Homo-oligomer: A and B are copies of this chain.
């Protein structure tokens, strides 16, 4: 069976056969494309990381949602890559100069993978990270005890499953821009994170925005963009 002939290479696109990388994205948006590992073969992930790294040799490039097999394949093929088994990420290349601070705050032990994905993403996208874990609202003294760290950040990422109340509590304590990440932690009528998602969308605290369930990556991108704008490069370069 015959196809119409392909119309040749396009500018801003690197064609690997099974995927076409958007190599123009760095120039267009300031950030390079990222390898989303779910559903891809380990060998594909290895090659995609290599291609991105070669295209953007002066930037760190990121792969997310890596299976254990993919993590091992990346570590073997790219010995300089930093692989995080908790957040299931790999980073290849020189990290950027970090500007501004993102505080990643999580409610429970089971939220750790999503918090780690957000933290790594925020660093690759150029922000410092303050990671604050296990401050669920069932023990309010834990979140009250870190109020100053929350206030010192340029952007907050709040990660919580179950009823997701942490976003509202934190959002009422400080005026820092806050991105909430609902997680699929829970059972029964949590519906795989829908309960937390709805709670965060309906937060009574003003200024809370939300990303998809378990989307630590998206929250990290967003928060880093906010944080690094808040801290101009000159200011950070000279301390």
A236 within 8 A of partner (CB): no
21 A-B interface contacts by CB (under 8 A): A4-B130, A11-B145, A13-B142, A24-B141, A31-B175, A38-B187, A39-B110, A140-B173, A162-B204, A165-B203, A176-B225, A188-B192, A188-B193, A188-B213, A189-B197, A195-B198, A206-B218, A206-B221, A207-B222, A230-B230, A232-B232
**List of B residues within 8 angstroms of A218 by Cβ:** 206-209
How near does chain B come to A70, taking the closest CB pair, in angstroms? 15
Bound: A110/B226 CA distance, A: 30
Q: Which residues 132-179 of A sit at the B interface, judged by CB distance below 8 A? A: 133-142, 144-146, 149, 154-155, 162-165, 167-169, 171-179
Band of interface residues on A? 35 or more
A88 within 8 A of partner (CB): no
Contact, CB under 8 Å: A174 / B133: no
Question: Could you say which of B19, B149, B206 contacts A4, with CB atoms under 8 Å apart?
Answer: B149
Q: Assess A211 versus B201: contact at CB under 8 Å? Given A18-B109, A172-B139, A175-B30.
A: yes
Top 6 closest A-B pairs, CB basis? A188-B213, A29-B175, A165-B165, A195-B198, A209-B209, A138-B172
Q: Assess A25 versus B188: contact at CB under 8 Å? Given A3-B129, A177-B229, A199-B199.
A: no
Contact, CB under 8 Å: B214 / A138: no
